[in-house]
A and B are shown apart, each in its own frame.
Chain A
């Protein structure tokens, strides 16, 4: 009887151990049409992690836009925790000979302007508008988000509707 109990216990263990785990797939890519509406400004990546005092590069993407000739991306952040180190031009308007590019960071507001020079150019599709390098100064998570002042303009300076404005997080550990 002792053997029977031992064998039964062993078999129960074997059967329980046979339960297979399922993989945890995450579909959170902001450039995935299933996650983000067309005509949007998003951060890539949406979540960045660095050491305290370290820097992270966050790209600003125009997602599935049409006839865009100028972009104003206004980003709000907690300037007690983050500082803007540098902002560089992305490749979205790279086919233009010399796109206009201006940025200004002041009191937790970063304004980025980029646009075709002249009135005969526009851009469709998805692409990086600019790359922002943030520097962390306090530990913890800091949200970054586009404000309602952000806008897209066509070659006639007409306003293009923005359907979604993305958000992001920078974590300093």
Chain B
């Protein structure tokens, strides 16, 4: 009897579907991945309600759908394939079937929806959405998806309801540890962590938790070190359900470091963005470089504060690359010793500066004596020429001649000091240019490093002694 009723009902619905008007659509409960069944059902129900509001389609009654599924010996959760959906749709007399899944990664939810043509069995339209925040915010996401899956733009009022910020522009990304080439794996992992942190700061990507990624890789029988190929990365990315994977390598050639990073689409396997940078200096400076790289690989301009660190901050200060002989030369020409200070040769800098100051002081003293004696000559000579007292004339002449002698001595002393100062100045300039900036030696490198140990999953304080 019940079979007969269902058949009659289906026939009736089919006849309705054949009528002119919006196409008939049935919505299967979305498959829950990482969330309870009832939450998936509730959210699917909200999708149905909103689809009805679009007026673009006619929604098939849910109870009729359940009856047909029961008749076919299926549950909604069991009808996940396109073929099943098409078969059920035919029985319902619907032109389209909507199915999908709702997943959860950490505190991030993903929605994948698909509208399948019952007649052809092909996917007519697919939509995905990503949301980070409390589960209640998913209601607005489902409502928006209801409009988008039928090919319409969601109304502004609905978009305004969207909670937890605009995540539609965000992409899901997983970052594999950068392959170390010439640096330690601990350094590489620490830099990768810093890279991941900076990716998060861009607010343009939802990053998969490192632990979740490691678990997936372990399930697949990989270790982080082994999964360096694009195939492995794509496989892991697919397992994680992310859109993009980022992998790369950090290499060292002499004093030069290279960072190569690639972001590729997990679905297509195509490289979305490849970026590389070269850095010369201490390994610490790589932190800033890799932070900048994180912004660039997301297609964003790094913040000025970050670029400032590279130009005039820690990176520039720690690396001797920016210091040149010409820079030392010009500085030593402006102020004696400055070029040596600039070249990290403080002792020589103080020597030249002190020497110049001492000679300058002596030259000033000589000049002061010269001025006094000069005034004496002028004064005594004037008195001598004006005098008509024979007793005064000779003493005045003697005083004037003595003052003249003092002037000559003062001039000689002054010239000597100036020449000495000039010689020292030239020596300072030549020294600054020939010796040049001091190169970093191993002894000057930091002996204490804070690094991240991936196996212990905790930071480590590392102490190292340079043997060169």
Q: Which A residues are closer than 8 A to B by beta carbons?
A: 3-4, 7-8, 11, 15, 18, 20, 22-23, 25-29, 31-34, 44, 59, 61, 64, 125-126, 128
Contact = CB atoms under 8 A, between A and B. Distances in A.
Nearest to B367: A20
B134 interface: no
Given A31-B393, A32-B394, A22 B401 contact: no
Interface in B147-199: none
Contacts of A44: 388
Most buried by B among A23, A27, A28, A44: A23
A125 B388 CA distance: 13
11 contacts: A8-B333, A18-B415, A20-B414, A22-B407, A23-B403, A27-B381, A27-B397, A29-B397, A31-B393, A61-B388, A126-B390
B401 A20 contact: no
B385 interface: yes
Interface in B387-434: 387-388, 390, 393-394, 397, 400-401, 403-404, 407-408, 410-411, 414-415, 418, 422, 425
Interface of B: 329-330, 333-334, 367, 370, 374, 377-378, 381, 384-385, 387-388, 390, 393-394, 397, 400-401, 403-404, 407-408, 410-411, 414-415, 418, 422, 425
A25 B377 contact: yes
Contacts of B333: 4, 7-8, 11
Contact of B393 (A3, A18, A32): A32
A113 to B, nearest CB: 22
Contacts of B410: 20
Contacts of B422: 15
Nearest to A64: B390
Given A20-B410, A33-B394, 10 more contacts: A7-B330, A11-B333, A11-B425, A25-B400, A27-B400, A29-B387, A31-B390, A32-B384, A59-B388, A61-B388
Nearest to B410: A20
Given A20-B414, A23-B404, A26-B381, A125 B390 contact: yes
A5 B216 CA distance: 66
B413 to A, nearest CB: 11
A104 B401 CA distance: 42
Contact of A25 (B381, B387, B418): B381
A139 B408 CA distance: 40
Nearest to A10: B333
B393 A29 contact: yes
B414 A23 contact: no
Contacts of A128: 388
A1 B334 CA distance: 14
A28 B400 CA distance: 13
A60 to B, nearest CB: 12
B411 A20 contact: yes
A101 B256 CA distance: 109
A61 B387 CA distance: 13
Contacts of B390: 31, 64, 125-126
A34 B396 CA distance: 13
A26 B408 contact: no
Contacts of B388: 31, 44, 59, 61, 128
Given A3-B330, A4-B330, A7-B334, A29 B407 contact: no
A18 B418 contact: yes
6 tightest A-B CB contacts, nearest first:
A23-B377, A25-B381, A126-B390, A7-B333, A20-B411, A32-B393
B411 A29 contact: no
Contact of A20 (B370, B387, B394, B400): B370
A107 to B, nearest CB: 30
Given A26-B385, A31-B388, A4 B329 contact: yes
A31 B334 CA distance: 56
A141 to B, nearest CB: 19
B404 A25 contact: yes
A91 B367 CA distance: 46
A22 B330 contact: no
Given A20-B411, A20-B414, A25 B401 contact: yes
A23 B393 contact: no
B84 to A, nearest CB: 79
B195 to A, nearest CB: 40
Contacts of A126: 390
Given A4-B330, A7-B334, A15-B418, A22 B397 contact: no
A59 B411 CA distance: 39
